């Protein structure tokens, strides 16, 4: 996104190479706000024609050559002073971390990864929460008319006035996920009035992957443009993995507390209790999780509605809650204790992501009774959350054919008072496992155009396995395309400048500029060099696709050279000829009647 | 596409392995029509539960273990007897093939590839054309109320009645590209009433690639689902390359005669003449090209309209014609001689693909004056072509942001009397070179849903270089996804059965069936095996994505096992509990007012 802000970013000297040895022609820069400790990172692309384009940057300090980062110490607590200055929160001892938090029983033979190497060394810090019932959420501040440093930060990022940011948050049309225990993040906002955001899921599973891999996936995902990251770890060392991810993440982190709670009862859904769940939520809130998916809309009476579905319940959380409800023949403990849960989240400014546990898992199940029954309940819960000043977004499907997509966003906006919609895809067909980043990228672009605020990415491995580093990159790039295509369709101010800058570079054969402006400069350059590797080709007025004689852009330029640059020039030379045609009614053939 | 036809296909024995050693669990089969020589190929996927799914098949005899194929002899002339039986065409000597046809001047130092190895040996055959002015196009037959074997063939392929096929062709809403000199093709139809089709472009350029590569790209593209192939060769040996491609292609072949004509004048656009172009069209028509892109809509008065564009003219043909018009300050020779061109195409039943030479090449230029001025002229030319019984489709953009896509198809359908629209993408953003199969796949799915009949694929190499084998596959798969997503959105009868079959296999953990039903079985299997290679994993009730404890589908199944399969069963067990909630208004929380 081109930064429209008048203030010129304070450029950071020196180029950062994206991968060993590979220079990518852009600088990390910062736009300063009203105070010295409010510096908004941007990605400044320097063009060979002397101009520069400023793009939205999610990569954090890792791409700043002047910043010293150490994953064992974590990122600097950017927001700490802002939080302390508000004086409405206080540190406290916090709950003790137990081996169970990492899925390790006292009786467990192996100690898992819980050893000195695995435990995050970091900096000593106590958890923080609201002081004597004070409202400490960005929603509460916005309602009070306060513009926080976080709000000013996103206003600069989005090129809108801080007042617009405050308005949207106060109205519940946008959320600014920022747990008081996650001071490391660079604030960002999620709402239809702003740039469409992309979430990347990471997380080890019981089957594979390690702590180090997950931290690396997180920094890798944000480097390519992920605006938030969800840690969906389900195996051992959940607590420890999350700690490493949180302390090193420049973007808000989301989780599904139910996963860890289930680990605490050895995966036996029926043994889950409100107490275990609540303890897990507090554990994660103290660590700094910014938003939590809560499947409180999966109610006992809705479970039968899924019985005749082709693919039943495909949400992990949804299936777990459905199993619990049926096992006890009781209403969901999440639904019954929702108000108490609101009080907990409010104390840390954890944002709700109300989960769509009954989303369709196949084209056949799209927009069915179960899905919309849950959506209506999410609308009810959204109203309750707002009473407690808890920021809230609503999760959406899933698998939906194109002609049924719009109904999803329209219903959600109506039922949930325009709360931000956060959708997974949707996938527009089921026939292409290994290409579901594409089947879903199509639906994602469309639903974002129609108002979805954040898109949860889908990788090529969806339905098949755990995504690796390459899959994460492919998923993020695909979804950045969908998000930007939607920004264009929504006419988001400044969105098209990025396209225009790249198209100008293309028409003028500034190959290096095309590469550097590309979402993925490395791959663009690599593809070009496959067939025309030579350095001269970087300035050639053609590529191997059409060759010199057939390059339409080259011919177009020749035309302009020969007949003048402007339309007027060309028209002048053709005025006479054109007149003749006008006289002939611009037709060569006469009607059959003649 | 699942074949709804009652007739069970006569299955071919034995399995065909897709790549060395790799079995893919499907058989080539044929559905017989009203005559023994009318056998429609289908792809029959055999599921482990004993059922089978029949899909549309474009791969030709190459996937039939009983068929003997030899690229040096070409495919058997499937349609030859049908054409001869009509008795309205006759063989004739045809124009002599000259070295210039392959871009070789007498003065040329090197002989290019024109030697015994390169020249296609094939079978001796003379070209054929309409006998004493008889109307020999499928459009003419349809208008006369005749249902040709070609029409019956596509009716079986599309699971509609032959009468529907005849109606759509007669009305000009569909085309059945089938040059009388290309008897090798398996007939297919392009029209909004039928399955959305996908075209793959191949063709060597002056810069790279060989005859063998192009033939291999063609068979590779049709294996993955390309419905037609355009040979856009621009380098040497154009004539010879085309001959090899035509004689070995089971799908209609399209070309842009202007490219070869330009080669004949050494790439000097201003030296092009109607005579050279006309001679080239006849040369290609005699070889059997089924449809030709003709940029007759690029008129002199429109060229100035492109002067202030960000990316000028991005169509090769469009830029060539614009250069010619300006060089001579004359109206396009294609526009001025369009009626004579119609007479030539009608004699061979070559279908028009009226080119959009002024399509936008960037988001900034979408839906502008130049583009729509040309579209209106294409509407005028479409009317003329129909007078000559020439089948016609209209080409469309290009680069168009999502909110401007629908206007394109709506205008085209209105201006061109619902003639089939054939679009390139459109690309919905310019910022992702190396991912333009995705930026365009989004637009392609949407415009196809709204009525586009055929989609011209875009590969990851678009704007960067000539696609290789992998790029061709990625482009075709991406566009098959877009086309099928559109078939679903249009509610095309039977389209969803493919999705349903795969979703059933997914829910029942029939991994092998999921792979075999996938658009790309090889990659789906490969991705799954990356993390869970063991054979038992092929029957496991989970994958590495969530692991056993968190597999929602497994939990869903357990729920059904424990509480009964049907909704009624589950409801019964829950009737009591549900009543209580109904009594409480299905709410746990009371209104604030209370």
Quick: pLDDT tens for B365-382. 999 999 999 999 999 999
Closest CA to A202 of A237, A177, A229: A229
Collect all residues of chain B within an 8 Å Cβ-Cβ radius of residue A210: none
Q: Give the per-residue pLDDT at A24.
A: 54
Q: Give the per-residue pLDDT at A537.
A: 67
**Partner residue facing A301 (CB), from B387, B548, B578:** B578
- Using left for φ > 0, alpha for ψ between -120 and 50, and beta otherwise, residue A573 falls in alpha
Q: Does B145 touch chain A if contact means CB atoms closer than 8 Å? A: no
Closest CA to A200 of A394, A461, A492, A374: A461
Backbone angles phi, psi at A308, to 5 degrees: -95, 15
Nearest residue on chain B to A491, alpha-carbon basis: B403
DSSP code of residue A196: P
Return residues 426-445 of A near B (CB < 8 Å).
Answer: 428-435, 438-439, 441-442, 445
Q: Give the per-residue pLDDT at A120.
A: 86
Collect all residues of chain B within an 8 Å Cβ-Cβ radius of residue A562: 326
State the distance between the two ends of chain A, measured CA to CA, in whole angstroms.
57
**Between chains, do B565 and A307 touch, taking CB under 8 Å as contact?**
yes
Question: What average pLDDT does this structure show over B114-136?
Answer: 80
DSSP A538-573: GT-SS-TTTTTTT-HHHHHHHHHHHH-SSHHHHHHH
3-state DSSP assignment of residue B60 = helix
| Strand ranges inside A288-346, DSSP E | 291-294
Q: Give the per-residue pLDDT at B205.
A: 61
Query: Which range (A8-22, A45-59, B183-197, B574-588) has the least confidence?
Result: A8-22
pLDDT digits (tens, 9 = 90+) for A540-558: 766 666 666 667 777 777 7
Q: Kindly tell me if the per-residue pLDDT of A26 is higher than 50.
A: yes
Confidence of residue A11 (pLDDT cuts 50, 70, 90): very low
> What is the residue whose two structure tokens read 């306060």?
A146
Q: Give the per-residue pLDDT at A177.
A: 98
For the annotated binding site of B, the residues are 201, 230, 259, 295, 315-317, 356-359, 395, 399, 422, 463, 543, 546, 551
Q: Give the per-residue pLDDT at B12.
A: 42
Q: Give the per-residue pLDDT at A214.
A: 83
Question: What average pLDDT does this structure show over A59-68?
Answer: 94
Closest CA to B41 of B243, B181, B230, B223: B223
pLDDT digits (tens, 9 = 90+) for A261-283: 999 999 899 999 999 999 999 99
Would you state the structure tokens that stand for residue B86, as one six-digit string?
A: 């009509």
Q: Give the per-residue pLDDT at A553.
A: 75
Closest CA to B520 of A360, A460, A457, A442: A460
Q: Give the per-residue pLDDT at A119.
A: 80
pLDDT digits (tens, 9 = 90+) for A416-442: 999 999 999 999 999 999 999 999 999
3-state DSSP assignment of residue B236 = coil
Question: What average pLDDT does this structure show over A405-413?
Answer: 98
Q: Kindly tell me if the per-residue pLDDT of A529 is higher than 70.
A: yes
Whether the Cβ atoms of residue B225 and residue B198 lie closer than 8 Å to each other: yes
Query: Which range (A242-251, A387-396, A524-533, B308-317) has the least confidence?
Result: A524-533
Return residues 201-240 of A near B (CB < 8 Å).
Answer: 205-208, 234-235
Interface test with A, best of B303, B307, B455 (most A CBs within 10 A): B307
**Partner residue facing B574 (CB), from A267, A300, A439:** A300
Collect all residues of chain B within an 8 Å Cβ-Cβ radius of residue A335: 588
Closest CA to A374 of A428, A425, A416: A416
Q: Does A475 touch chain B if contact means CB atoms closer than 8 Å? A: no
Q: Give the per-residue pLDDT at A552.
A: 76
Contacts of B134 (CB under 8 A, 6+ apart): B88, B89
Query: Which range (A331-335, A562-566, B56-60) has the least confidence?
Result: A562-566
Residue A578 and residue A514: Cα distance in Å, rounded?
37
Q: What is the dihedral of CA A408, A472, B553, A365, to 10 degrees?
A: 20
A543 marked as binding residue: yes
Question: What average pLDDT does this structure show over A110-114?
Answer: 46
pLDDT digits (tens, 9 = 90+) for B496-526: 999 999 999 999 999 999 999 999 999 999 9
DSSP B68-124: ---TTT----TTHHHHHHH--EEE---PPP-GGGGT--TT-SS-TT-STTTS-----
Distance from CA of B192 to the nearest CA of A (A): 16
Q: Give the per-residue pLDDT at B289.
A: 98
Would you state the structure tokens that stand for residue A589, as one six-digit string?
A: 């053939």
Whether the Cβ atoms of residue A423 and residue A406 lie closer than 8 Å to each other: no
Q: Give the per-residue pLDDT at A561.
A: 73
- Using left for φ > 0, alpha for ψ between -120 and 50, and beta otherwise, residue B198 falls in beta
Q: Give the per-residue pLDDT at A519.
A: 97
Starting at the earlier edge strand, list the strands of the sheet with B10-11: B10-11, B26-32, B39-46, B52-56
Average pLDDT, chain B: 88
Q: Give the per-residue pLDDT at B553.
A: 75
Query: Which range (A391-395, B312-316, B376-380, B402-406) has the least confidence?
Result: B312-316
**Between chains, do A316 and B552 touch, taking CB under 8 Å as contact?**
yes
For the annotated binding site of B for Zn(2+), the residues are 399, 463
Collect all residues of chain B within an 8 Å Cβ-Cβ radius of residue A482: 442
Collect all residues of chain B within an 8 Å Cβ-Cβ radius of residue A565: 307
Question: What average pLDDT does this structure show over A353-378?
Answer: 98
| Strand ranges inside A297-452, DSSP E | 351-354, 392-396, 421-424
Query: Which range (A327-341, A543-557, B311-325) has the least confidence?
Result: A543-557
Nearest residue on chain B to A464, alpha-carbon basis: B528
Collect all residues of chain B within an 8 Å Cβ-Cβ radius of residue A463: 506, 514, 543, 545
Q: Give the per-residue pLDDT at B254.
A: 98
Question: What average pLDDT does this structure show over B430-437?
Answer: 98
**Between chains, do B547 and A235 touch, taking CB under 8 Å as contact?**
yes
Query: Which range (A462-476, A550-564, B272-286, B393-407) has the least confidence?
Result: A550-564
User: How buried is B46 (Cβ within 10 angstroms: 0-12 exposed, 13-18 middle, 19+ buried)?
Assistant: middle
**Between chains, do A550 and B206 touch, taking CB under 8 Å as contact?**
yes
Would you state the structure tokens that stand for residue A174, as one six-digit string?
A: 């946008």
pLDDT digits (tens, 9 = 90+) for B165-184: 999 999 999 999 999 999 99
pLDDT digits (tens, 9 = 90+) for A581-594: 444 443 322 223 32
**Rounded to two decimals, what is the model's pTM?**
0.91
Backbone angles phi, psi at A174, to 5 degrees: -145, 155
Would you state the structure tokens that stand for residue B493, as one six-digit string?
A: 């009868």
Return residues 26-55 of A near B (CB < 8 Å).
Answer: none
Would you state the structure tokens that stand for residue A80, as one six-digit string?
A: 């700490």
Percent of chain A with pLDDT over 70: 85
**Partner residue facing A553 (CB), from B312, B445, B514:** B312
> What is the residue whose two structure tokens read 């916005």?
A142
Q: Give the per-residue pLDDT at A566.
A: 67
Residue B523 and residue B529: Cα distance in Å, rounded?
10
Question: What average pLDDT does this structure show over B217-232?
Answer: 96
Q: Give the per-residue pLDDT at B3.
A: 37
Collect all residues of chain B within an 8 Å Cβ-Cβ radius of residue A264: none
Collect all residues of chain A within an 8 Å Cβ-Cβ radius of residue B481: 428-429, 431-432, 435, 438-439, 442
Confidence of residue B551 (pLDDT cuts 50, 70, 90): confident
Confidence of residue A367 (pLDDT cuts 50, 70, 90): very high
Going A572 to A576 to A582 to A587, the CA torsion angle's sign is: negative
Q: What is the dihedral of CA A425, A428, A430, A434, to 10 degrees?
A: -60
Contacts of A267 (CB under 8 A, 6+ apart): B549, B550
Residue B22 and residue A326: Cα distance in Å, rounded?
44
Q: Give the per-residue pLDDT at A7.
A: 40
Bridge partners of A90, per DSSP, are A129
Interface test with B, best of A203, A475, A555 (most B CBs within 10 A): A555
Distance from CA of B77 to the nearest CA of A (A): 33
Q: Which residue has the higher pLDDT, B335 or A307?
A: B335
Residue B366 and residue A497: Cα distance in Å, rounded?
15
**Between chains, do B438 and A441 touch, taking CB under 8 Å as contact?**
yes
Nearest residue on chain B to A590, alpha-carbon basis: B384
Question: What average pLDDT does this structure show over A176-188?
Answer: 98
Q: Kindly tell me if the per-residue pLDDT of A90 is higher than 60.
A: yes
Confidence of residue A88 (pLDDT cuts 50, 70, 90): very high
Q: Kindly tell me if the per-residue pLDDT of A116 is higher than 50.
A: no
Collect all residues of chain A within an 8 Å Cβ-Cβ radius of residue B508: none
- How wide is the angle at C-alpha B75 spanned by C-alphas B73 and B79, nearest 5°? 130
Residue A31 and residue B205: Cα distance in Å, rounded?
47
Q: Give the per-residue pLDDT at B307.
A: 87
Distance from CA of B238 to the nearest CA of A (A): 14
Q: Give the per-residue pLDDT at B521.
A: 94
| Max CA separation in chain B (angstroms) | 98
Q: Give the per-residue pLDDT at B530.
A: 84
Q: Kindly tell me if the per-residue pLDDT of B531 is higher than 80.
A: no
Q: Kindly tell me if the per-residue pLDDT of B357 is higher than 70.
A: yes
Q: What is the dihedral of CA B479, B482, B488, B492, to 10 degrees?
A: -50
Q: Give the per-residue pLDDT at B123.
A: 77
Q: Give the per-residue pLDDT at A547.
A: 66
Q: Which residue has the higher pLDDT, B107 or B202?
A: B202
Residue A518 and residue A538: Cα distance in Å, rounded?
15
């Amino acid at each position: 996104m081109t930064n429209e802000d008048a203030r010129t970013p304070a450029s950071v000297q020196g180029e950062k190479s994206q991968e060993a040895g590979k220079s990518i022609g852009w600088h990390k820069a910062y736009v300063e706000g009203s105070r010295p400790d409010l510096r908004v990172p941007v990605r400044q692309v320097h063009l060979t024609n002397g101009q520069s384009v400023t793009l939205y940057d999610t990569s954090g300090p890792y791409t700043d050559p002047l910043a010293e980062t150490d994953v064992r110490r974590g990122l600097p607590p950017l927001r700490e002073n802002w939080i302390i200055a508000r004086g409405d929160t206080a540190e406290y001892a916090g709950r003790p971390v137990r081996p169970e938090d990492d899925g390790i029983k006292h009786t467990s033979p192996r100690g898992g990864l819980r050893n000195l190497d695995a435990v995050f060394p970091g900096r000593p810090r106590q958890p923080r929460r609201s002081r004597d019932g004070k409202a400490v959420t960005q929603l509460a501040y916005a309602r009070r008319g306060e513009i926080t440093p976080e709000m000013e930060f996103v206003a600069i990022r989005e090129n809108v006035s801080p007042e617009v940011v405050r308005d949207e948050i106060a109205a519940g049309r946008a959320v600014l996920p920022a747990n008081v225990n996650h001071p490391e993040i660079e604030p960002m906002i999620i709402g239809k009035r702003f740039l469409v955001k992309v979430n990347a899921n990471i997380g080890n599973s019981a089957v594979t992957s390690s702590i180090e891999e997950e931290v690396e996936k997180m920094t890798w995902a944000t480097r390519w443009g992920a605006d938030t990251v969800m840690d969906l770890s389900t195996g051992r060392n959940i607590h420890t993995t999350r700690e490493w991810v949180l302390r090193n993440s420049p973007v808000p982190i989301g989780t599904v507390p139910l996963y860890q709670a289930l680990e605490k009862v050895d995966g036996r859904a029926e043994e889950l209790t409100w107490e275990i769940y609540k303890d897990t939520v507090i554990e994660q809130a103290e660590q700094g999780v910014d938003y939590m998916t809560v499947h409180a809309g999966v109610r006992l009476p809705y479970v039968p509605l899924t019985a005749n579905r082709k693919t039943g319940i495909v949400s992990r959380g949804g299936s777990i809650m459905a199993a619990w409800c049926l096992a006890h023949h009781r209403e969901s403990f999440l639904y019954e204790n929702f108000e108490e849960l609101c009080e907990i989240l409010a104390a840390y400014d954890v944002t709700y992501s109300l989960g769509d546990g009954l989303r369709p898992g196949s084209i056949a199940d799209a927009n069915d009774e179960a899905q919309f029954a849950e959506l209506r309940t999410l609308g009810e819960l959204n109203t309750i959350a707002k009473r407690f000043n808890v920021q809230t977004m609503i999760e959406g499907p899933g698998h939906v054919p194109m002609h049924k997509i719009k109904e999803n966003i329209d219903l959600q906006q109506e039922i949930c008072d325009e709360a931000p919609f956060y959708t997974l895809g949707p996938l527009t067909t089921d026939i292409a496992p290994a290409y579901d980043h594409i089947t879903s990228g199509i639906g994602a672009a469309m639903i974002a155009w129609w108002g979805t605020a954040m898109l949860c990415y889908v990788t090529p491995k969806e339905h098949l396995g755990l995504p690796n580093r390459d899959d994460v990159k492919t998923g993020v790039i695909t979804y950045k395309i969908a998000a930007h295509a939607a920004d264009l369709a929504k006419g988001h101010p400044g969105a098209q400048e990025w396209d225009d800058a790249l198209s100008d570079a293309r028409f003028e054969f500034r190959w290096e500029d095309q590469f550097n402006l590309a979402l993925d400069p490395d791959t663009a350059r690599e593809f070009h060099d496959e067939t025309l590797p030579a350095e001269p080709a970087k300035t050639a007025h053609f590529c191997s696709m059409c060759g010199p004689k057939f390059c339409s852009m080259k011919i177009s330029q020749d035309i302009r050279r020969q007949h003048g640059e402007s339309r007027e020039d060309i028209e002048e030379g053709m005025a006479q000829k054109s007149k003749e045609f006008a006289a002939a009614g611009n037709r060569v053939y006469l009607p059959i009647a003649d």
